Amino acid sequence: MSEESLLKVNHVDVFYGSLQVLWDVSLTVRAGEIVALIGSNSSGKSTLLRTISGFLRPSNGNIEFKGKRIEAMNPYQIVALGISQVPEGRRIFPDMTVSDNLVIGSYNHGARSKREGNLKDVYMRFPILGLRRNQLAKTLSGGEQQMLAIGRGLMGEPKIMLLDEMSLGLAPLIVDELYRTLREIRERGITILFVEQNARRSLKEADRAYIIKSGRIVLSGRAAELREEDEIQKAYFGV
């Protein structure tokens, strides 16, 4: 291994009550990578992300971030370590303005001093947000809300960003735009782990990928290699 792993999920089992939803899941993300987690609707991909974020606790296995064990931490503590979230459904604060949404993204103490600089960056990267900065977030379109969610995630000066179903419900042009943004973010040195249903698109954008099905990782490897695999067609049915 030439690079240190930034985020490591080690053999994790997760239950909802008495129902098991993740089986022996392992995943590694190295600094500077773009990693995709690909799966269909009830594959467990969002559950895995939720576990990494601290909303669920694994009953077996552990999760490490920069060598530190985080599986038992509260979500707000995990964020403070440098893990930023762009959640499923965006979850922007509907009755707060665009600018307030961004500002609250810099809530963590480390990020507060860099707030003004980061705000400028976000408005440069997403001019439409700058235009709408005093509007209530709920008045934004789906694509704009996604940009806001990503911008908000950036405000926290993260080391790694977790994006859950970023392209859901958005037009292809906007999705292209967002992926371009991800690449720029990676240029800035921020690692990315994103979760998607669309295998084809995801494999184009990612360095490495994991395929999850029914709560298990069934395939993993370099995106370029996976693209060739017939297994993809078999392992990943549906959409």
Partner 1 sequence: MIESLSDLAMPITAGILLGGLYAVVALGFSLVFGVMKLINVAHGDFVILGSYLAFAALTGIDLDPFLSLVFILPLVLVIGFLVQKYLLNRAMAISADAPVIICLGFSLMLANMFQMIWSPLSRGLTTSYSLTSYNIGGLAIQLIYLLDLIIALAVMLALREFLRRTYLGKAIVAASQDRTAAEMMGINTNKMYAYAFAIAMACAALAGVLVGLTFPFSPTSGVPFLIIAFGVVILGGLGSMVGTLIGGIVFGLAQTLGGFYFGVAAQMFVAYVMVLVILGIRPQGIFGR
Partner 2 sequence: MNLIVPRFGQRGVILATVIVLLAVLPVIGVPQQWLLYLFLYFVYLAMANMWNLLAGYSGLLSLCPAAFIGLSGYALILGTWVGVPLYLGVFIGGIVAALFGILISIPVFRLTGVYFAIGTLVVPEALKYLFFLWRPMGRELHGGGAGYMVKGEFIIDIAWTYWAAFIIGIVSIFLMHFILKSKLGLGLAGIRDNTGTAASSGVNVFRLKLYAFIIAAFITGIAGSVFYLFQLHIEPTSAFNIRWLMTSMLATLIGGIGLKEGPIVGTIVVVILHFLLARYAGISLFIQGVLLVIIISLAPEGIIGFVRKTQIYRPLLKLANRKATCPPKTGPKDELE
* Nearer of residues 59 and 141 to partner 2, judged by Cβ: 59
The distance from CA 106 to its chain's CA centroid, rounded to whole angstroms, is 17
Closest separation between CB of residue 54 and partner 2, Å? 10
E strands, the chain, where? 5-16, 19-30, 34-38, 60-65, 68-69, 83-86, 160-164, 191-196, 208-213, 216-222
59 binds, among partner 2, partner 1, none (CB under 5 to 8 A by kind): partner 2
Tokens 């017939």: give the residue: 230
Per-residue contact flags (x/-) with partner 2 for residues 20 to 59, judged by CB under 8 A: -----------------------------------xxx-x
Closest separation between CB of residue 234 and partner 1, Å? 35
Per-residue contact flags (x/-) with partner 1 for residues 134 to 163, judged by CB under 8 A: ------------------x---x-------
From CA 158, how far away is CA 33, in angstroms rounded? 14
Where residue 165 falls (left for φ over 0; alpha for ψ -120 to 50; beta otherwise) is: left
Tokens 């695999």: give the residue: 229
- For residues 33 and 223, the answer to whether their CB atoms sit within 8 Å is no
* Nearer of residues 16 and 234 to partner 1, judged by Cβ: 16
Q: Could you give the 3-state DSSP secondary structure of residue 203? A: helix
Q: Does 75 bind partner 1 (CB under 8 A)?
A: yes
Applying CB under 8 A, among 53, 118, 145, 167 the residue interacting with partner 1 is 53
Largest CA distance in the chain: 50
From CA 138, how far away is CA 188, in angstroms rounded? 29
* Nearer of residues 18 and 134 to partner 2, judged by Cβ: 18
Closest separation between CB of residue 182 and partner 2, Å? 31
18 binds, among partner 1, partner 2, none (CB under 5 to 8 A by kind): partner 2
For 56, phi then psi, to 5°, come to -130, 150
Applying CB under 8 A, among 6, 9, 12, 14 the residue interacting with partner 2 is 14
Close Cβ partners of 31 (under 8 Å, ≥ 6 residues apart): 3, 4, 5, 6, 159, 191
Per-residue contact flags (x/-) with partner 2 for residues 127 to 166, judged by CB under 8 A: ----------------------------------------
- Counting residues that bind partner 2 (by CB under 8 A) gives 9
Q: Does 74 bind partner 1 (CB under 8 A)?
A: yes
Q: Which residues contact partner 1 (rule: CB under 8 A)?
A: 53-55, 74-76, 79-80, 85, 87, 91-96, 100, 103-105, 107-108, 112, 152, 156
